[in-house]
Amino acid sequence: MQTFINTLIENVFPDWNLGVKMAEQWRDIIDQAQAAGRSYLMEHESKAVLEGLGISTSGSSVARSEDEAVQIFRDLGTPVAMKVISPEVVHKSDSGGVWLNLENEGKVRLAYQEISRAFQDKKMVGISVQKMARPGVEAIMGVAHDATFGPILMFGLGGVFVEVLKDVSFRSIPISESDAEDMIEEIKGYALLKGYRGHCADVAALKQLLLRISDFVMKNPDISEMDLNPVFLYPEGYTVVDARIILGTPRPAAPAPVKQDLHDLFYPRSIAVIGASGTPGKLGWNVFTNLVSHKFQGRLYPINPRAEEIHGIRAYPRISDVPEPVDVAIILVSAGMTPDVVKECGECGVRYIVVESAGFAELGEAGKEIELQMKDIADKYGVRLLGPNCSGIINTHCSMVQSIGIVDALRKGNIGLVSQAGVCAAGMLWGLRHIMDFGIIATIGNKLDINETDILDAVSGDENINVICMYLESVKGGRSFIDAARRITLEKPVIVLKSGRTEAGKKAVASHTASLAGNDRIFSAVFRQSGIIRARDYEHMFNLARAISKQPFPDRDGVFIVTYAGSLGVIAADAISDNGMRLSELEAHLKERLRNLLPDYVSGMNPVDYTFSQDAETVKKTIEIGVDSQDVGSFIVVLQAEILESYVDALQSIDYKGKPIIACVAGKEFALQDVIRMEKAGIPVFSTPEEVADALAIMYRHNKRVKREKA
């Protein structure tokens, strides 16, 4: 290795001090490239950096003449590859810049001549001569920059796997050991790494390689992109055959996370509504009416210069006229007036401001300018601001409803909902309140100050909340969001619906890694890294929330199916398998108990198909048999919509011993009152077996991850 470094120094940087430590050498390589005005390291430089990190490469010696190339070939004593070295050539394979498997001196001389002729106008530094790496399992890894989450690490298998199948995994840097393991195991080609037709890979060494790259990028903020492609993986170790490092403007140091207690935003002692109205239909009337009708437990102050009282509560012309301190001010005036109102709130000592008005950055530059004015004023007075363009906060545990839409009666619940779209959240609440019990609904709008990470932290810390749903169009918190979510998901599940799942945001980039990193793929990766459950759509998110908020997590993958229709039982069994779960196997003594219960015409032990002789008592006894099995982790119970009401009391009375049950009712929309009764009894009701199997599998995998991370 030292010979390689010495050769590099003698040929490219002859004025280096050979006694400098390896770490200083690779840093000097980067500094010299930047001093020369280059935005990337050439292959021999990139390999020198990697070797300095303890990463094994195929090496690279620089030849400036045919004779030097031949001498290097003789010294290596092995077939070689030759590649052009030029600061003007990034993609060496273009126009004949790479010659492979050169086995004699004649071929080495010919390659030198042809490469020199093809790139004579490209400021060639020389031609790299390097030993041909022995074949192995071909992989690719690298680093790309994401506008939201910063440096992103990529790994996948090379060749057709990456070029055609895009079979790669991503994680936000820095990564942990478990992140590295997940990256390796989640690609579809993982089976090849474990062993296939005599080929396998040193997974432990591969994991350490990923961790070293992550650490390198964290310690060098001017690394913008990297490509290690290909990397040959062997039963013992690996070799990086080609490498490219792209430099950029140093990333700013991540600000130290500042966790502010937002308790009084969610549990205020007093609220002023600036723009409260006594005229039905106006937003100011809606918000104040919600607070009054839901019997908010604190003090209310309507602010309206033309009203003496609203809903029997004394009104004040300005917030500065309120004689007592105000915890939260809700602003419902026109966008142009908001900076002045925010300033007055700050002067009065208001701690939290909720701007429900619209007409800001979502409408263009003029609105954005108003937002910046508000932010400067809020920062000056140390006020935290939610919104603008939001619908406030609902907290059923203190009877606070700030919504701009009229909200009917709510029950106290254990579900938290964080939504970037306020009106959408309010609209869904109208129907969902019948089958879901929300504890907190927080809308964040344009996230001028308080963002999704702040709200996630606050909602997760509420002892009344057991599961959190989030609708996000963007993430402002970046890496801090990942770190917060990773901590929170170990205690409370977080389900996220992220919109904007397209490649429209992808930009042209220099590295192969970055070209694979579409916006939505990065979000999916960081959600997995954080332990977040990603929902496909609204129905999926709320299905999962209903299941998780009402049922325990399965601690094993065996599923027991009870049905009244054979076809639905088969569909459920297929869905279980498709989702990586399996049909449970009852113990011998439990099979005997089940045989004594089954009619003569029923022979299956799982699924158990009772046909139309199924009734509530039979289903109860069958489930109780499954509860006693060590192999049953969860239940799918297919019920008839026409007699659904008859099952409610029986299913509610079973001691499930920590094993979740989800009901499947085809045509449930025609038995909504009975569905609502079942849901209120704590049994989620889904429309199809596929939905149930999907939910149980997600719950099982989440529980398995939490146990692994806590171990």
Tens of pLDDT, residue by residue over 477-503, are 789 999 999 999 999 999 999 987 655
> Residue 423's pLDDT is what?
60
Contact 279, 286 (CB under 8 A): no
Bond into 388 cis (ω within 30): yes
Q: Which CATH architecture has domain 2-131?
A: 2-Layer Sandwich (3.30)
CATH of 263-465, one of 3.40.50.300, 3.40.50.720, 3.40.50.1970, 3.10.150.10: 3.40.50.720
Lowest pLDDT segment from 3-17, 320-334, 466-480, 526-540: 3-17
Q: What number is the average pLDDT over the span 607-623?
A: 92
Residue 179: pLDDT band by 50, 70, 90 thresholds?
very high
> What ranges do the domains of the chain cover?
2-131, 137-247, 263-465, 554-710
Q: Which CATH architecture has domain 137-247?
A: 2-Layer Sandwich (3.30)
Nearest to 329, CA basis, from 258, 365, 378: 378
Bond into 79 cis (ω within 30): no
Element (H, E) at 471: strand 467-472
> Residue 194's pLDDT is what?
86
> Residue 4's pLDDT is what?
40
405-458 pLDDT per residue, tens: 889 899 999 999 999 876 666 667 777 888 999 999 999 999 999 999 999 999
Report which of residues 398 and 358 the model is more confident about: 398
Bond into 607 cis (ω within 30): yes
Please provide the size of the chain in residues: 711
Residue 160: pLDDT band by 50, 70, 90 thresholds?
low
> Residue 198's pLDDT is what?
64
Report which of residues 186 and 514 the model is more confident about: 186
Per-residue tokens: 559: 């599923």
Query: What value does the mean pLDDT of the chain take?
Result: 90
Q: What number is the average pLDDT over the span 181-201?
A: 86
Residue 678: pLDDT over 70: yes
Nearest to 446, CA basis, from 364, 382, 526, 520: 364
Q: What number is the average pLDDT over the span 320-344?
A: 97
> Residue 361's pLDDT is what?
83
Per-residue tokens: 132: 């041909």
Lowest pLDDT segment from 18-32, 48-62, 156-170, 344-358: 18-32
| Residues in a beta bridge with 150 | 146
Report domain 554-710's class: alpha beta
Q: Would you say the CATH fold of 554-710 matches that of 263-465?
A: yes
> Residue 572's pLDDT is what?
98
Report which of residues 326 and 36 the model is more confident about: 326
> Residue 501's pLDDT is what?
60
Residue 310: pLDDT over 50: yes
Report which of residues 300 and 4 the model is more confident about: 300
Alpha helical stretches, state H, 305-392: 338-347, 365-381
* Residues with Cβ within 8 Å of residue 233, at least 6 apart in sequence: 136, 137, 138, 139, 193, 201, 202, 206
Lowest pLDDT segment from 307-316, 353-362, 578-587: 353-362
Lowest pLDDT segment from 82-86, 231-235, 483-487, 505-509: 505-509
* Residues with Cβ within 8 Å of residue 196, at least 6 apart in sequence: none
Report which of residues 75 and 36 the model is more confident about: 75
* Residues with Cβ within 8 Å of residue 520, at least 6 apart in sequence: 498, 500, 501, 502, 503
543-591 pLDDT per residue, tens: 999 999 999 999 999 999 999 999 999 999 999 999 999 999 999 999 9
> Residue 21's pLDDT is what?
46
> Residue 2's pLDDT is what?
38
pTM of the model: 0.90
C-alpha span between 262 and 450 (Å, rounded): 10
Report which of residues 555 and 26 the model is more confident about: 555
> Residue 12's pLDDT is what?
41
